[in-house]
Amino acid sequence: MRFTILFFLIMNLIPSFLFSQNEQKVKIAVLIDDVGMKTDALDLFFEFGEKLNFAVLPFLPKSKECYEIILKSQNKAILHMPMQSMAHPEMNAKTVGMISIEMTNSLIENKLNEALGQFPNVEGFNNHMGSKFTSNSLKMNVVLQFGKARNLFFIDSNTYTKPSKNGKVENPETALAYNLAKNLGLKTFYNSFFIDNENEIPYIENALLEAARQALITGNLLIIGHYRQNTAQALCNMKQKMLQMGIEFVFITELF
Ligand SMILES: [Zn+2]
């Protein structure tokens, strides 16, 4: 009896994290970009059954509906803010709500306000396209100051530095907007790489495996995929293997 009491007393003095099964876990936040045109692929993503982050574009036919469904699913949604691209002027022209470096600061703030108005209560945002905008530190500072004033986190999708196809960005400091955000004191993170540069299930499965390997070597990371059936299917296919490797799928806010 006395031993039992002593045993429990000692056990209480030992920090509980020493017994945690998550002790060895490395965190990966999966962010799914370009949600908002259709609701049809959401169910397949939800079948994944682990925490997912969705980036919803504003002003699309199903933007608000997707946002509501994601919130009800217990997953997280952020604003996918359209920003001017360097390489795709034709895409710039048809991207609704996009901010560009030619705009005045107050117009940029108005556009951000309008986009945020679509998704009340989002905790953060990342850039849709944006190779031209995110590499302009003057204009990017306007966006980040706006985000900071509203306590939003910022994810650099890393479209400027062209993340490598099958590996972590060699030097995260080259993610320009991430660096700016960090200096301004925002909660921030950057995309290590896009997992579905090719819309083929085996390619995406390999990229996920590579992300897990990288995370185990270099620590927590964030990867971006797109709102497509193949990406959802590859995630479902690789889930068990990644969990067995010691990966924990998390919300972005768990990376800060
Ligand atoms: Zn996008």
Segment 75-94, tens digit of pLDDT: 999 999 999 998 778 888 89
Whether 49 maps to a domain, the answer reads yes
Whether 77 maps to a domain, the answer reads yes
| pLDDT at residue 16, rounded to an integer | 44
What total of structural domains would you count in the chain?
Answer: 1
The backbone torsions φ and ψ at residue 205, rounded to the nearest 5 degrees and listed phi first, read -60, -45
| pLDDT at residue 19, rounded to an integer | 44
| pLDDT at residue 175, rounded to an integer | 83
Q: CA torsion 124→130→136→138, rounded to 10°?
A: -40
CA of 33 to the centre of ligand 1 (A): 5
Residues of the domain holding 187: 24-255
CA of 194 to the centre of ligand 1 (A): 11
Whether 46 maps to a domain, the answer reads yes
Alpha carbons 160 and 175: distance in angstroms, whole number: 7
- The structure tokens 């190779």 sit at 131
The backbone torsions φ and ψ at residue 48, rounded to the nearest 5 degrees and listed phi first, read -55, -40
Whether 60 maps to a domain, the answer reads yes
CA of 159 to the centre of ligand 1 (A): 9
| CATH number of the domain residue 145 falls in | 3.20.20.370
CA of 16 to the centre of ligand 1 (A): 41
Cβ < 5 A residues, ion ligand 1: 33-34, 128
CA of 129 to the centre of ligand 1 (A): 6
Whether 5 maps to a domain, the answer reads no
Whether 8 maps to a domain, the answer reads no
Task: Kindly report the average pLDDT of the chain as a whole number.
Answer: 90
